[in-house]
Amino acid sequence: MLSASATRMPQSFTSYSRKSIIMIQPVVPGSIRVPAPSVVAWAVSCLEALNMTSADAHLLAESLVQTSLWGIDSHGIARLPHYMERLRRGSIKARPNIVVATSGASTAQVHGDQGQGIIVGHHAARLATQMAKDTGIAAVGVSDSSHCGAMALYARPAAREGLIALAFTHSDSMAAPFGGTRAFFGTNPICIAIPRAGHEPTCLDMATTSIPFNRVVNARREGHPLPEGVAYDQEGQITTDADATRSLLPLGGPEFGYKGYGLALMIDLLCGPLNGNPYGPTISGMFTEMDTPRRLGAFFLMIDPARFAGGGTLAATVDTMAGALAMEPGSPRMPGAPELAEEINRQRDGIPIEPVLAEQMREWTARLQVNTLPEALSGLA
């Protein structure tokens, strides 16, 4: 069972339907369904074997499994082998000394000490949540951290507590700027969550690129193609070949990509230079410089809607808006709704573990000499 801090907690869109943008990523053929609690138990035992504290191991494992439950496999449990390899090499510290520097009634800096980004991210988001409750608004920056996963992990809990939550992060060069074809910015996501009366918060969580780069990594690992029109190859030609991909198109594609490009640039400034971190091509590569700490940043802005004229009725208005949208032709859904629907399915049916990921899980089980590999994976050839 997932803890209250990580349960019921979407990411950038990856495919289309006639009715709406669907954020859930397709399940790879040959995947094995594994119950979420079994995946959590395996991940915790591995992380503890790599010297993480029990509390941090549970928080990271539950956060990754929660992301997988939403159907965001690019940022879910598939990322754990990468994190564990960095923990093994020391480019992520298992037990960082996270330091908070309060700079005002509503501002603070969280120094991550090269810790695991999801652990540092939760620390900063909780701090911002408490500060916003006290003062009405809070801005908290993160420095010297690492990849922090899906930003909804931090915005949704704050919105459940009645706040409007904005969360941003950045990464090394993976996306071409508008007008160019060579990678410069990261996928630099933006997440906004707003309370909704009687329901989970409405939550937009999207990359500023056509797809998140981790989906390219998953496609390379499993040998399946990318969607049309989302990636460039070495020659600057659009490709569906994950192995040939050298950069992603900004959100909006070849014609309207200036929108995603502009967002990516601004988010990079908020998360990088504002917090004393590097930006774009000056950030060490997530998958190419495994021995080098990332020095990534994040930026959290939390707002108490009660401090504004419409705050008292905002959550009810969001619910009214959702009802009105559902009555429109095509029955549009609120941002984040597809992920919540997928969570119900995956809680019932299990998380799909792709074939190569399953092999990685078996390899790490043997390497760390843990005995919690999910039964459904232990007998695979």
From 251, 240, 264, 214, select the one nearest 72 (Cα to Cα): 214
Q: How far is CA 260 from the centre of its chain?
A: 17
Whether 347 and 19 have beta carbons less than 8 Å apart is answered as no
C-alpha 355/C-alpha 165 separation (Å) is 36
Length in residues, the chain:
381
C-alpha 283/C-alpha 44 separation (Å) is 29
Helix, strand, or coil here: 254? helix
From 279, 256, 281, select the one nearest 267 (Cα to Cα): 279
C-alpha 212/C-alpha 188 separation (Å) is 9
End-to-end CA distance of the chain: 29
Residue 356: HSE in the Cβ half-sphere, 13 Å Cα cutoff: 12
Whether 94 and 50 have beta carbons less than 8 Å apart is answered as yes
Helix, strand, or coil here: 192? strand
**Residue 123 appears among annotated catalytic residues:** no
Helices of type H across 14-167:
36-49, 54-69, 80-89, 117-135, 152-160
The owner of tokens 């339907």 is 17
C-alpha 248/C-alpha 239 separation (Å) is 10
Query: How far is residue 285 from each of residues 80, 218, 293, measured CA to CA in Å?
Result: 17, 17, 9
State the catalytic residue, choosing from 123, 147, 199, 224.
147
C-alpha 47/C-alpha 87 separation (Å) is 9
32-34 and 99-104 as β-strands: parallel, antiparallel, unpaired?
A: unpaired
Q: What residues act catalytically?
A: 147
